[in-house]
Amino acid sequence: MITSAQDMQAWSKRVHGAGETIGFVPTMGSLHRGHLSLIEKARAAADHVVVSIFVNPLQFGPGEDFERYPRSLESDLEALRHSGVDVVFTPGLSDIYPDGPENTPTLSAGEIGDVFEGEHRPGHFDGVLTVVARLFQLVACDVAVFGKKDAQQLIAIEQMVAREGFPVKIIRGDIVRDDDGLALSSRNVYLTPEGRADALILQRELRAIENASNTTDPTDSLERIKQARQVLREAPGIELDYLEAVSSDTFTPWEQHPTGEMVVVGAIRVGTTRLLDNVWMPSVGAHSSGQ
């Protein structure tokens, strides 16, 4: 385990000096099988793998769950013991933000930071990009893996890498689900058994939308999204924040910019817990973007 920025940079310098590559999976801890699947992708793409564990205060807004965000370093280290990770990087706050988070200039996510999750959590993506950029600097990774479950975060990071010129290849990791279909998330621990049962309706509606896209005509999917939105608005035990089709290239509404893959993104509240899920539909995107 490496705990300081200086030691992390020294390790990375030795690895690159030997002509070897570094794969990176940044996390906030509370690890689950979804994280382990990202690590597997990193292992396949690089000679060495670094996993960071750092709960980033800059991506939590007022009234959000920074203080109660689940922290379980011992169980995280146990989960990583047999995962093939070379380094677990657990920096302190001063390693990431030497002048303190309140005095650290943040990177702007641009337009993608103001819609969907950004609208509900102002400044969130600026905080995400700021910590990811700092971690890229310290780890000096060649490859980094981010999950498709947090689709908006993934695309915002891809845009940042292109914009800032980071020499890092971004790999997209598939969504991992529990046996009941719920997308794995560190925040699932907040759900009561009843809340978990209520939350499953989002995944069921997303699956129905995906099944409706068995043709390459996006009209079928867009019509099914309207139906699903109404179902979710009327569903007991949850509150719908949004359900929309966006472009995987720009994260703008699909009907405005039908490029890349169609991604249907949804967010619901179950009690005080906010859950995200999505489905990527390459068959629709391939047709509509002329690929």
CATH of the domain at 261: 3.30.1300.10
Whether residue 281 sits in one domain with residue 162 = no
| Domain-located, residue 179 | no
Gap between the terminal Cα atoms of the chain: 45
Catalytic hit among 16, 35, 124, 257: 35
Residues above pLDDT 90, as percent of the chain: 85
Told to judge if 124 belongs to the known catalytic residues of this protein, a careful annotator would answer no
| Domain-located, residue 181 | no
Average pLDDT over residues 116-133: 96
Task: Give the model's pLDDT for residue 61.
Answer: 80
For 57, the domain range is 5-173
Q: How many CB atoms lie within 10 A of CB 155?
A: 24
| Domain-located, residue 273 | yes
pLDDT higher than 80, residue 126:
yes
User: Which positions ≥6 away from 73 have C-beta within 8 Å?
Assistant: 29, 53, 90
Which residues are part of a known binding site? 28-35, 59, 147-150, 153, 176, 184-187
Q: Considering 173, 207, 229, which residue would you say is the last residue of a domain? A: 173
Whether residue 120 sits in one domain with residue 197 = no
Residues facing residue 247 across a β-bridge: 262
The count of domains in the chain is 2
| Domain-located, residue 178 | no
pLDDT higher than 90, residue 213:
no
Kindly report the CATH number assigned to the domain that includes residue 39. Answer: 3.40.50.620
Average pLDDT over residues 198-208: 97
Whether residue 101 sits in one domain with residue 210 = no
Which residues are part of a known binding site for beta-alanine? 59
Whether residue 193 sits in one domain with residue 99 = no
Q: How confident is the model at residue 57 (pLDDT cuts 50, 70, 90)?
A: very high
Whether residue 198 sits in one domain with residue 159 = no
Whether residue 33 sits in one domain with residue 122 = yes
Q: Considering 119, 151, 173, which residue would you say is the last residue of a domain? A: 173
Judge contact between 140 and 16, C-beta under 8 A: yes
pLDDT digits (tens, 9 = 90+) for 61-103: 877 777 777 788 999 999 999 899 999 999 999 999 999 999 9
Judge contact between 263 and 288, C-beta under 8 A: no
SS3 at position 87:
strand
Structure tokens at 201: 């309706």
Cα separation of 165 and 122, whole Å? 25
| Domain-located, residue 180 | no
Which residues are part of a known binding site for ATP? 28-35, 147-150, 176, 184-187
Which residues are part of a known binding site for (R)-pantoate? 59, 153
Whether residue 236 sits in one domain with residue 204 = yes
